[in-house]
Amino acid sequence: MALKGLDIFKLTPKTNCKDCGSPTCMAFAMKVAQGANSISECPHMSAEALAKLSAATEPPMKTIAVGVGECAYKLGGETVMLRHEKTLVNKNLYAVFLTAEMQDDAIDALLAETVKIDYERISTRMFVECVFLKCGADTARNIEIAKKAIGLGRVPILDCADPEVAKTVVEATKEAKPVLCGANAANWEAMNAVAKTAGVVLGVSGADLNELHDTVEKLEAAGNRNLILNLGSASIKDAFANAVEIRRAALKNGDRTFGYPSIVNLAALAPGDIVTQTALASIFTLRYGSIIVMERIGYAEALPLFALRQNIFTDPQKPMRVSPGIYPIGGANENSPCCITVDFALTYFVVSGEIDRSRAPVNLLVPDAGGYSVLTAWAAGKLSAASIAKFIQEFEIESKIKNRTLILPGKVAVLKGDLEGKLPDWKIVVGPNEAIQLVKFLKDFQ
């Protein structure tokens, strides 16, 4: 629960000593309430007041770190239920599902299919970050498979409810900072010891939310606040209900016990049904799944899911942008004409999609236009004859492309005259107003 400035003020020494850099204690308290200053900047706070304040200013949902190095990710740390309220901060991760009982060739085939998913979309690398391993009794076998995943740069999620097995497996893989799932009401003490000793995140399950709540309370009392909550595999309905109830409790109802990220195993909820798993992954991407485990993730699954995640985990105050440059479409080469648009991702996608559909080879030029749409960029002075000419010069378009035809968005036809002045070698053509008219325009144009 956020404290108001006045509540914080009551806990300050009220001496206006200025040691914190603020003119008065009141001013300082206000800044702390806004999050601009930290309470620790006041050297005169009593220990009792500090404890009270740090508990109150603690975020409602903890940020949990998994993996190491290039494969390090953060989960949780959300402050709002929905994207538009502020922004969602830590995107969910996807995992593929393995069991120790699978044959080697099946495991290798699945991992090979998984690592094939590696591509770039709007300047972000898209790939499956984690591998979920349902461990068996054979410790060496578990370690062997987990190490395969680590070798491929994936964070292992080890599902193991036997503390003895878990201990050895985690000990052998702890450098990769895996997640250890499998703590429950019966084994939490022993599992807690394993996770704490190795310094890894512990996944907690419960038969229902009451039992889960109870176990988390015990783990917290034992000093472990590095947890992930399992949404369960009893039914699709329960898993979704748990996802919403847990997030709602943490963010809306002030229940810190549930202030942790979640994990959901779709391979258990819809076994053998990859279409339903994809639909569920889509729902959990929007609604409160932090690690989403699927039986497999091929291109058919990755393309919509990764794209959806990229959409949802964007700051609503900042438009999604593509990086400026030349984007050849439809097999375009140096002799193909150029179309110019803006770097607002939505505009880029619509325009490039329509050019694609026209099957005409076109070099799509994307200058830095502040991430605005065409008309907005023009109105804001981010898309002008001068900025286009500068882009063509900076990106050395004239040496890279021989064709000297530049198609301008119809909405900024007004730039034609100016551009002809600035780019005398080029033939400036005014294109259609709407992207949807591009197919016909490009066909007629040729």
Partner 1 sequence: MPFNRKPKVFTPIGALSFGDGARAVTLGGGNTLPLCFFDAKPNNLPAVGVEITDTGFDTAGLPLLAAPYDGAVTLAERAVRAANLKGVDFVCLRFEGADPGGLNRSAEDCAKLAQEVAAACPKPLCIAGCKNTEKDTELFKALGTALQDHNVLFLSAKEDNYKTVGAATALAYGHKVAAESAVDINLAKQLNILLTQLGVPKGSIVMNVGSAAAGYGFEYLSSVMDLVKAAALEQGDAMLQMPVITPVSTEAWMVKESIVSQADMPEWGDVEQRGIQMETATAAACLASGSDAVILRHPVSIEKTAALIAALV
Q: Name the residues that contact partner 1, by CB under 8 A.
A: 82-84, 116, 121, 209-210, 212-214, 217, 235-237, 240-241, 244-245, 248-249, 252-253, 255, 257-258, 273, 275-276, 278-283, 285-287, 298-301, 303-308, 310-312, 314, 316, 320, 345-346, 349-350, 353, 356, 440
**Cβ of 215: how many Cβ atoms within 10 Å?**
25
Do 216 and 204 touch, CB atoms closer than 8 A?
A: yes
Minimum Å distance from CB 168 to partner 1?
34
Taking the C-alpha atoms of residue 219 and residue 227, their distance in angstroms, rounded to an integer, is 9
DSSP 3-state of 91: coil
Minimum Å distance from CB 31 to partner 1?
31
Closer to partner 1 by Cβ: residue 171 or 315: 315
Minimum Å distance from CB 157 to partner 1?
22
All residues at 6 or more sequence positions from 281 whose CB lies less than 8 Å from its CB, including other chains = 94, 266, 289, 292, 294, 301, 305
Number of H helices and number of E strands within the chain? 18, 17
Minimum Å distance from CB 364 to partner 1?
14
Which two three-digit tokens encode residue 395? 């990106």
Closer to partner 1 by Cβ: residue 97 or 258: 258
Closer to partner 1 by Cβ: residue 90 or 257: 257
Closer to partner 1 by Cβ: residue 93 or 415: 93
Minimum Å distance from CB 189 to partner 1?
18
Closer to partner 1 by Cβ: residue 10 or 440: 440
**β 325-329/362-366 pair status:** antiparallel
Minimum Å distance from CB 227 to partner 1?
15
Closer to partner 1 by Cβ: residue 225 or 390: 225
Do 23 and 47 touch, CB atoms closer than 8 A?
A: no
Going from the C-alpha of 119 to that of each of 70, 114, 171, the distances in angstroms are: 16, 12, 33
HSE-up of residue 361 (Cα within 13 Å, Cβ side): 8
Torsion of CA 194, 197, 202, 207, to 10 degrees: 40
DSSP 3-state of 258: helix
Minimum Å distance from CB 17 to partner 1?
42
Reference 425, options 395, 399, 398; nearest CA is 398
Closer to partner 1 by Cβ: residue 16 or 276: 276
Closer to partner 1 by Cβ: residue 121 or 390: 121
Minimum Å distance from CB 258 to partner 1?
8
